[in-house]
Structure 1
Amino acid sequence: MRVNMNNPVLIKEVKLRFRSLKSFTGILFYLIAMSIFVFGFIFLTTQFTGKGFFRPDQSFFLFGLLTFIQLGLILFITPGLTAGTISSEREKQTLNMLLTTSQSSLQIIIGKLSSSIAFLLLMLLAGLPIYSLVFLFGGISPGQLGVIFLFFILTMIAVGSIGVMFSTLTRKTIVSMIATYGTMIFLSGVTLFFFLISIQVNQMSGPNPGLTQSPAPFAYFWASINPGILMYTLLNPVTENFVNMQTKIDFPVWASYIIFYVLLSFGAITISIKKLRVNMKKLK
């Protein structure tokens, strides 16, 4: 069977998004805010030291702050870009026309998802020159920055896939957004709480309270799917040693994170493809 690599849905979505003045205005204000934060941090740090020096450890701290700000933006912006991809078409009553075209469900879902991911990638790449300022003061390696960006891309795809899935399953965009943001709160906040609770329960259940006596697979699972904990392990490898020591499971946290979110993305995309035309089948 011949596979058509051309995706008109992706081309249309990219043109509409990148021709919009709002998109580039948003990127402009994002870069202005990032620049004010970086230069303000450098200025205040050099003023407080009294010597006008910006040390490598301070550069690394700035890099960590920028990384967590980027992660927060990804978790906050991605649901807003993807949670209305299909439900908005349904609300505008244009979904039926889109489904009657020659485009397959896979092309429609991938096109909608890819256009949103492309805009987020543009935002990350636009902020790369600001990131590069930390290299002037040392403390950061290009390889570390590359690993962080790969982590961002995987997280964007996973969050975007969840948003598209809820947008396909629900009829209202507001419901889809609430479900997607709720999932992000669970993955980034509730899992951290469950990790701490699981560690405490495991320590209290042992013969020596306060010490982890047996493996804690549930605690390891909650830690491995939390984006914030993984970010800490990438910035500071000691954090990964702490997780392995507390859970008694000697397996890289980043590997578990990749496996979980790749499977989650694949499952969410598969559900979106299966459920996109379910209403048309019922009508038949």
Structure 2
Amino acid sequence: MKSLLLNPVLNKEFKLRLRSFKSYLGILIYLLVLGTIGIGFIFLTTMNARMGYFRPEESRVMFMVLSMVQLALILFMTPGLTAGVISGERERQTLNMLLTTKQSSGSIIIGKLLSSLSFLLLIIVASLPLYSITFLFGGVAPGTILATFGLYLVTILTIGSLGVMFSTLIRKTIVAMITTYGVALFLTAFTAFLAMLSIQFLSLGGPNQAQNPIPYLLLMGNPAAVLITVFEPSMQKELLDQSGISIPLWISYLFTCALLITSSLWISIAKLRPNMKGKRSKRPKE
């Protein structure tokens, strides 16, 4: 823990990121997008209501809309912040200089990951006042808000670890970024599409169809599906009944994310430094 707090890579990245005007501009744009969606939702709802009231049920819908939009923004921003942390150093020809320091491979990878994700966490924390609107009108339990932000944290760590891994394995930043976006798209849209197809095929068998765990297994790594089950527990119950699995989807999601984070960081640390032993063994003896 002490080595993490005294990590020079992490301290340098913190200072450089917070000195940039683009960081504050990014936070401003992020909050403007969420604020515009929230205020626009309230305006449209009150305009269409007969008495002009904003009911607690509508506040719950607004919270769900803001949460899904924020999850989409997280999935969009995380690859851009993490997929170039190592490949960018390689393109600037500063990676070899970084590797000659006393910092271990694990310290460099963890420092790069945390410095990139800390900015995204700062943006999420800055959006908390917007969610206070739901407390003003009611309709959302505090446990739901905590579960939502916990899901954000796990998703950020997972996509960020994958971005660092691809940044380590791939030399070009643009290629690493596209690959990370592709994996994020696969975990969300593609798995949801396959799950919907499998559910449609199962529905063709009639009411006496056998239980099939395929939709559940496909959605184990889908953050959007887990977020929907947090909002609508009845959908999770229906999914568990169809699959015959009694484990809640969010527990399987945590297990899947833990596996992805561990394997991605391990590969990144192992592949950061070139393997010089094999090259030395191939040298001819004098």
Matched residue of 1:278: which SS? coil
- Cα distance in structure 2, aligned partners of 1:37 and 1:62: 9
Unaligned 5+ runs, structure 1: none
Question: 1:75, 1:119 → 2: CA distance?
Answer: 14
Equivalent pair of 1:216/1:248 in contact (CA under 8 Å): yes
**Residue 284 of structure 2 corresponds to which residue in structure 1?**
none
SS of corresponding position for 1:186: helix
Between Structure 1 and Structure 2, how many residues are aligned?
A: 279
Question: What one-letter code is carried by the residue in structure 1 that aligns with 2:241?
Answer: M
Structure 2 length normalisation: TM-score? 0.93
Asked whether the 8 Å contact 1:199–1:247 carries over to 2, the reply is no
- What amino acid sits opposite 1:271 in the alignment? I
Contact in 1 for aligned 2:113/2:164 (Cα 8 Å): yes
Q: Which residue of 1 aligns with 2:185?
A: 185
The equivalent of 1:72 in structure 2 is 72
Q: RMSD in angstroms over aligned alpha carbons?
A: 1.7
Distance 2:157 2:84 in 1: 16
Give the residue type in structure 1 aligned to 2:117. I
% same residue: 50
Correspondence for 1:47:
47
1:251 maps to 247
How far the C-alpha of 1:147 sits from its partner, in A, is 0.9
Question: Is the Cα contact below 8 Å between 1:82 and 1:113 reproduced in 2?
Answer: yes
Q: Matches of 1:25 and 1:280 in 2, distance apart? A: 43
Q: Quote the residue 1:168 is aligned against.
A: 168
The answer to whether the aligner puts 1:236 opposite 2:232 as a matched pair is yes
Return the TM-score normalized by structure 1.
Answer: 0.93
**Aligned letter for 2:58?**
Q
Paired amino acid for 1:194: L
Whether the aligned pair in 1 keeps the contact of 2:213 and 2:242 (CA below 8 Å) is: no
Shift of 1:282: 5.7
Question: Per-residue displacement from partner, 1:96-142 (whole Å, max 9, x unpaired)?
Answer: 00000000000100000001111011000101001111111110112
Counterpart residue number, 1:95: 95
Aligned counterpart, 2:114: 114
Q: How far, CA to CA, are the matches of 1:67 and 1:116 in structure 2? A: 22
Letter in 2 for 1:137: F
CA contact (8 A) 1:7 1:107 kept: yes
Query: SS state of the match for residue 4, structure 1?
Result: helix
Whether 1:221 aligns to 2:217 is: yes
SS in structure 2 at match of 1:250: coil
- What is the CA–CA distance in structure 1 between the aligned matches of 2:44 and 2:36, rounded to whole Å? 12
